[in-house]
Amino acid sequence: MRKKIIGRVWKFGSNIDTDQIIPAEYLVTDDEKELAIHAFEKVRPNFYKLVKQNDIIVAEYNFGCGSSREHAVRALKGLGIGCVIAKSFARIFFRNAINLGLLVVEADIVADEGDIVEVNLDENIIYNKTKNLSFKFKKLPNFLLEIIDSGGLINYVRKKYQV
Amino acid sequence: MGKTIVEKIFSKKAGKDVEPGDIIEVEVDYVMVNDITGYPAIREFEKLGVKPKIDKIIIIPDHFVPNKDIKSAEQAKTLRNFVKKYKIKHYFEVGRNGICHQIMIEKGFVAPGRLIVGADSHTCTYGALNCLGIGIGSTEAAVVFATGKLWFKVPETLKFLIKGTPRKYVMGKDIILKIISEIGVDGANYKAMEFHGDTIRKLNLSDRLTITNMSVEAGAKAAIMEPDEKVFNYLKYRTIGNYEAVYADRDAEYEKVFELDVSNLEPLVAKPFSPGNVVPVRELSDIEIDQAFIGSCTNGRIEDLRIAAKILKGKKVRDYVRLIVIPASQEVYQKALEEGLIKIFLEAGAYVSGPTCGPCLGGHVGVLASDEVCISSTNRNFIGRMGHKNSKVYLANPAVVAASAITGRITDPRDLDRD
């Protein structure tokens, strides 16, 4: 059984690019906590002060477009983001998230900022507790779940190749 | 059923017939990282405790080099130490390098039929040379360092049939901006874009590379073209090893076919804050600029500098405007010197520097202050992309950038010809 993620919703629009998530001037470290301080700095100043562990980002289309910088995922992890739910993801961001063990779910849900939402990976259901609404989402392919369950690609490769 | 170019390259690499949607793990020809993405890649790789596949790894510091501050210096040093420790063969030091994608092409890594992954989103550039280039993240680059392999989902292919002869000052940049504005910034997400048509054959390689380069601005996983004599001639004394050209089957199945006639296309600009926010240059002629930038993996090649120099020859950059020109590589820089282009830029009052990604991503050599406006030959105009969150970037071809530097306003170069 996989852990359920329960957190508060932060809403974002379409085409949230990785420059917004973490501006290039901070790409001089891979430290999650250091990066988190600057997450969304130019569009939502002080975001890091507002976010709590396991909070959930709910976005529209094409989340994470633009630069391949994995630092975007690291910054979100540093913030404590438990899951990103979007109607669609840009492909490199999606891979980076899986590879670093950040849960990303493609789904079209109803939620307002501040709603409490639960993501259930075993049943592929997102439950908006505040609004008492449930949403199904498409199961992730098994081998992606294996990477997530391993805690990211490095651990997955370690297991697979016994290194 | 026939196959698209990307399906054929993946089938060859997988050793079996593959179709869109198939998930495969295949050997790549090369993996490339730069100073920003290479740093986490090396640190993740070291966790695995294995020896790297040294023949496959290419390391090119380009984003924050020459080192812009102490932290970026430490980052570049980590790369250099990794190269020394494992005797990585393909490392390109400052003074002998350039923007990673340009180096990948000039030094003969990019060739038809190959599969190259790069920890940089613009790796899709290589498709103009019939090479399947795919952008990846740092951690998966680390895994390729260790195993030489990576998993891929075979993408559906969108076909773009481009017809017509572009007018004067209409470049590859305008063609791809037009396409992005039509299909949207996620119009090719997860998909391959395959470009055909008489226009592509007429374009020089530089313009073709601009088109494949900015395909990622429509979300594309890869962009690809069939090779021709221009490609083979360019590669003649460059390519490392052999290669095999790959052409689309005549009965290949495409998810969708787009047709575009560029005969009447005008020079275009992408307004802030999206590469899909495209209008003709002439609609913006009242926008004043503070900075004009010619360079980047999108438009920093010799052909780009030539057209800019032609417009700037004998002219001066407008008062209070900074024109920054950054050749994409040492080779481009050298050639521009030999052809007298650098002299033209300097006499016009431009600032010219050695190769770096620099201002394109707000790194260094031209970061914008609040409320400043830059017309730029680069690829992204996101919020704060080149500096302050209240600065603005307009994307255009290098001819438009050069013309705008002269007038201090966003300017269609055709309007200077009339004067």
B112's tokens: 């038809």
pLDDT at A2: 81
Of A42, A91, A100, the CB nearest to B389: A42
Q: Which of B62, B72, B139 to mutate to test the interface with A (most CBs of A within 10 A)?
A: B139
Report, as an integer, the average pLDDT of B381-408.
Answer: 98
Task: Name the residue facing B185 among A24, A62, A141 (closest C-beta).
Answer: A62
pLDDT score of B72 more than 80: yes
Beta carbon pairs, A and B, within 8 Å = 129
Considering CB atoms only, which of A24, A61, A62 is closest to B361? A24
Q: What is the DSSP letter of B288?
A: B
- Smallest CA–CA separation between A147 and chain B, in Å? 12
Under 8 Å between Cβ of B406 and B317: yes
* Superfamily of structural domain B5-260: Aconitase, domain 3 (3.30.499.10)
Residue B419 pLDDT: 61
Condensed to tens digits (0 to 9), the pLDDT of residues B196-245 reads 999 999 999 999 999 999 999 999 999 999 999 999 999 999 999 999 99
Q: Does B2 score more than 70 pLDDT?
A: yes
- Hey, what amino acid is at B112? P
pLDDT of A18-53, one tens digit each? 999 999 999 999 999 999 999 999 999 999 999 999
Answer yes or no: are the C-beta atoms of B37 and A68 closer than 8 Å: yes
Assess whether pLDDT exceeds 70 at residue B246.
yes
Question: E strands, B249-382, where?
Answer: 256-261, 268-270, 278-280, 291-294, 322-325, 351-352, 373-376
Do A64 and A94 contact (CB within 8 A), yes or no?
yes
Q: Could you say which architecture CATH assigns to the domain B269-418?
A: 2-Layer Sandwich (3.30)
Is a pLDDT exceeding 90 seen at residue B366?
A: yes
pLDDT confidence of residue A1: 75
Residue A148's pLDDT band (cuts 50, 70, 90): confident
| Residues in chain B closer than 8 A to A78 (CB atoms) | none
Tens of pLDDT, residue by residue over B180-204, are: 999 999 999 999 999 999 999 999 9
| pLDDT for position A29 | 97
Instruction: Mutate one of A144, A155, A157 to test the B interface: name it (highest B CB count within 10 A).
Output: A157
- Which residue is closest to A16 within chain B, CA to CA? B382
Average pLDDT estimate for B124-139: 98
Q: Which of B275, B271, B289 is nearest to B394 (CA)?
A: B271
Strand order in the sheet with B373-376: B278-280, B268-270, B392-395, B373-376, B291-294, B322-325, B351-352
State the Cα angle at A137 between B6 and A143, rounded to 5°: 50
Determine the average pLDDT of the residues in B138-160: 97
Q: Which residue has the tokens 């984003």?
A: B63
Residue of B nearest to A68 (CA): B121
Q: Chain A residue closest to B276 (CA)?
A: A15
CA angle B137/A42/A114 to nearest 5° reads 90
As a whole number of angstroms, the distance between CA B257 and CA A159 comes to 43
B294: amino acid identity, one letter: I
Largest CA distance in chain A: 47
- DSSP-derived letter for residue B226 is -
CATH fold of the domain at A5-161: Aconitase; domain 4 (3.20.19)
pLDDT at A143: 85
**CB-based contacts of B384, cutoff 8 Å, min separation 6:** A19, A20, A23, A42, B362, B391
Q: Is the pLDDT of residue A162 over 80?
A: no
When pLDDT is cut at 50, 70 and 90, the band that residue B370 belongs to is: very high
Domain-by-domain residue ranges, chain A? 5-161
* Equal fold, B5-260 vs B269-418: yes
- pLDDT band per the 50, 70, 90 thresholds, residue A163: low
The mean of the pLDDT values for chain A is 96
